[in-house]
């Protein structure tokens, strides 16, 4: 059950009385993670040799029993000497193969449930890396707001170290090259936008895409219940894009469905207003929370059954943005 649907029926009547006892429950409601023993990539079009699963050691937080083991996946682009491995789709652009996207998925399940979104970007030609946060998929540990932010940094360290090694960049022990100089962009969707923004405040990307972003935990509580109670009374989570995004200097693209009844459209409008230039806004008519790339898709059907296939407007918007800001 998603957070808003789990909050709405019972917040209004009992918010004040269960202040202490409900905090853990509400914090955990942000995460609808699902553990798996192995990944299945539904409706996969990426050649097997271009899918690379990796295992990373995550950071230990104060309440952790030990460092989590995180699992991620690379979707590598095709090479010139193997054109048969290239996407047959019209959106494929060979020049995109030198551009790397670090993708942060939303609150649901695991990487396999977001494979259709990753494939959209791969079909466009981009090199994509995505990670399962602690407690998601094959990653160990328990998810938390701080854990997601830490895992985002682990993913970034892996991406930057990999690119530096490939390019023969000599680094001191513990040193990382700059994401913006290496041309690495962050792409966050839904809850993943909070990870992308948080990481971007410390490690500026070459470009930042936020799809269906929430403004903050407070805004979400107000939207779900409308009872005027501070989010800090109900949960420790902040997920505060509103206060962080103004400090991100990278070029930003914010996209949101105008019919989103889960994360309100005006959250995206607020974030766009607060964001510094350069910035772009893409409002998708008829799209719900999961329909920014594919507004005509029936969102009541699981994406693993009927995947999201991007329409031309989304493809043009994303391609134009990255073409402008990624070297």
Residue 139: active-site member: no
How far the first Cα of the chain sits from its last, in Å, is: 41
Residue 232: active-site member: no
Average the pLDDT over 216-228 and give the result.
Answer: 63
Strands (E) across the chain are located at 32-33, 51-57, 69-75, 100-104, 108-109, 127-132, 184-189, 207-211, 252-257, 279-284
Predicted pLDDT at 224:
55
Predicted pLDDT at 222:
66
Predicted pLDDT at 14:
42
Average the pLDDT over 13-26 and give the result.
Answer: 49
Please indicate whether residue 13 or residue 74 has the higher confidence score (pLDDT). 74
The active-site residue, picked from 139, 190, 216, 237, is 190
Q: Domains of the chain by range and CATH?
A: 3-325 (3.40.50.1820)
Q: How far is CA 153 from each of CA 63, 126, 191, 246, 275, rounded to the nearest angstrom? A: 18, 21, 16, 20, 22
Average the pLDDT over 32-47 and give the result.
Answer: 96
Using DSSP's 3-state secondary structure scheme, residue 257 falls into strand
Using DSSP's 3-state secondary structure scheme, residue 210 falls into strand
Q: Residue 16: is its pLDDT beyond 60?
A: no
Q: Residue 10: is its pLDDT beyond 80?
A: no
**Contact between residue 190 and residue 106 where contact means Cβ atoms under 8 Å apart:** yes
Band the pLDDT of 173: cuts 50, 70, 90: confident
Using DSSP's 3-state secondary structure scheme, residue 138 falls into coil
- Least-confidence region, from 99-103, 164-168, 185-189, 229-233: 229-233
pTM of the predicted protein model: 0.90
**Contact between residue 188 and residue 194 where contact means Cβ atoms under 8 Å apart:** yes
Predicted pLDDT at 1:
45
Residue 43: active-site member: no
Predicted pLDDT at 228:
54
What angle do helix axes 145-166 and 192-202 make, rounded to 10 degrees?
Answer: 60
């Amino acid at each position: 059950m998603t957070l808003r649907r789990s909050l709405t029926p019972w917040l209004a009547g009992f918010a004040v009385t269960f202040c202490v006892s409900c905090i853990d429950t509400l914090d955990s409601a942000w995460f609808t993670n699902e553990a798996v023993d192995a990944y299945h990539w539904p409706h996969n079009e990426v050649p097997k040799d271009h899918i690379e699963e990796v295992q990373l050691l995550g950071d230990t937080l104060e309440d952790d029993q030990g460092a989590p083991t995180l699992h991620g996946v690379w979707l590598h682009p095709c090479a010139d000497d193997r054109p048969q491995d290239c996407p047959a789709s019209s959106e494929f652009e060979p020049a995109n193969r030198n551009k790397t996207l670090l993708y942060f998925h939303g609150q649901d399940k695991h990487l396999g449930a977001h494979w259709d979104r990753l494939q959209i970007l791969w079909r466009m030609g981009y090199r994509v890396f995505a990670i399962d946060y602690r407690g998601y998929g094959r990653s160990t540990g328990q998810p938390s707001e701080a854990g997601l932010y830490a895992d985002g940094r682990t993913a970034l360290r892996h991406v930057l170290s990999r690119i530096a090694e490939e390019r023969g960049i000599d680094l001191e022990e513990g040193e990382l090259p700059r994401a913006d100089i290496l041309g690495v962009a962050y792409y966050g969707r839904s809850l993943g936008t909070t990870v992308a923004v948080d990481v971007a405040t410390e490690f500026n990307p070459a470009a930042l895409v936020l799809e269906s972003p929430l403004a903050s935990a407070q805004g979400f509580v107000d939207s779900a219940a409308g009872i005027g109670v501070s989010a800090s009374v109900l949960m420790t989570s902040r997920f505060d894009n509103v206060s962080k995004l103004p400090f991100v200097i990278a070029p930003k693209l914010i996209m949101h469905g105008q019919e989103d009844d889960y994360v309100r459209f005006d959250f995206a409008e607020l974030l766009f207003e607060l964001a510094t230039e350069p910035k772009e806004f893409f409002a998708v008519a008829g799209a719900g929370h999961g329909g920014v790339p594919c507004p005509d898709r029936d969102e009541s059907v699981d994406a693993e059954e009927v995947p999201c296939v991007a329409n031309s407007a989304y493809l043009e918007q994303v391609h134009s943005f990255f073409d402008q800001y990624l070297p």
